[in-house]
Amino acid sequence: MEDTLRTCYEALGFTQAPFSITPDTGLFYPGSRHVAAYKQLYHACTTGVIAVLSGEIGLGKTLVVRCVLRSLPETVRVAYLINPLMDLPDLLRSIGRDFGGPALPNNAPLSVLHNHLVETVLEGARDGARFVVIVDEAHRLSGDSLEALRLLSNLETERSKLIGLVLVGQPELERTLALRAMRPLRERVGVWLKLGPLSRDECAAYVRHRIKRTHRDGGFEFTGMALWWLQWQTRGVPRRINLACERAVLLAFAMSTRRVTASMMRQACREFSEAWA
């Protein structure tokens, strides 16, 4: 299937897949909300501020985080957790390993894991390093894990915080942080961000941006009505936009054209109508 897609794209003039749903930082769309999220997360990662980024599935949260990771200076050591469904010892062990700490046995008690992690951070700070923990799918974290992360983020010198914390998740994360038990963490959050869907104009700009970045000569287009239908059917969710556009591009290949019309877009979106209902 992958080889077939590559053949189709090459025949239509694309140098790479224009609408892949994988978080390709090279195709980052510089829309106002995504750029603002990028800048504020970068600030949080380099200053020790606690930040929360929330949004529904498919809005581009992970892509924003990946862009931040690519641009951080070498002095920032990152523990990037993409699987928060781990128990507390494994969580601390994973963070310590990413921070460059020593490997510890699986049966090491929590106190030992925590102390070694603190020692790793203090030693790195003496050499000018900063640290940040970024948790994707953070709405899946347990209350104990969130509390442990809060305690870690308390580590500081007289001048600055030593460990930043970025929590990225679906709207359930906001509801979790609104609980009374989460008040100590919630009151320390310095950056609250929420991604939303793309407007009609943003959707059109998003599609054109991806074509511009991946097509040899820009000689591929979506008609105005195709873009209108696309935004209406996908509700402006980037992941849905990518899925629908990929199908539409394949239809264009089958019809030997470099132009996606409204009827082709309707057909492409029809495949996902039940999933998006």
Short-list 228, 166, 219, CA closest to 191: 166
Residues above pLDDT 70, as percent of the chain: 98
Q: Which of 147, 165, 194 is the last residue of a domain?
A: 194
* Claim to verify: residue 180 and residue 207 sit in the same structural domain: no
Q: Each residue of 264-274: pLDDT tens digit?
A: 999 999 989 88
Residue 83 sits at φ, ψ, to 5 deg, of -130, 85
Domain of 38, in residue numbers: 32-194
pTM: 0.92
Q: Each residue of 77-94: pLDDT tens digit?
A: 999 999 888 888 899 999
Number of domains in the chain: 2
| pLDDT-derived band at 158, boundaries 50, 70, 90 | low
Section 109-130 average pLDDT:
89
* Claim to verify: residue 110 and residue 207 sit in the same structural domain: no
Q: Each residue of 48-71: pLDDT tens digit?
A: 999 999 999 999 999 999 999 999
The more confidently predicted of residues 183 and 6 is 183
Q: Which of 179, 194, 209 is the last residue of a domain?
A: 194
Q: Kindly state the DSSP code that residue 57 receives in the 8-state scheme.
A: T
Could you tell me how many residues make up the chain?
A: 277
* Claim to verify: residue 190 and residue 214 sit in the same structural domain: no
Section 130-158 average pLDDT:
90
Residue-level pLDDT at 2: 65
Where residue 214 sits, what CATH number does that domain have? Answer: 1.10.8
Residue 16 CA, chain-centre distance (Å), reads 21
| pLDDT-derived band at 1, boundaries 50, 70, 90 | low
User: Does 183 reside within a domain?
Assistant: yes
User: Does 22 reside within a domain?
Assistant: no
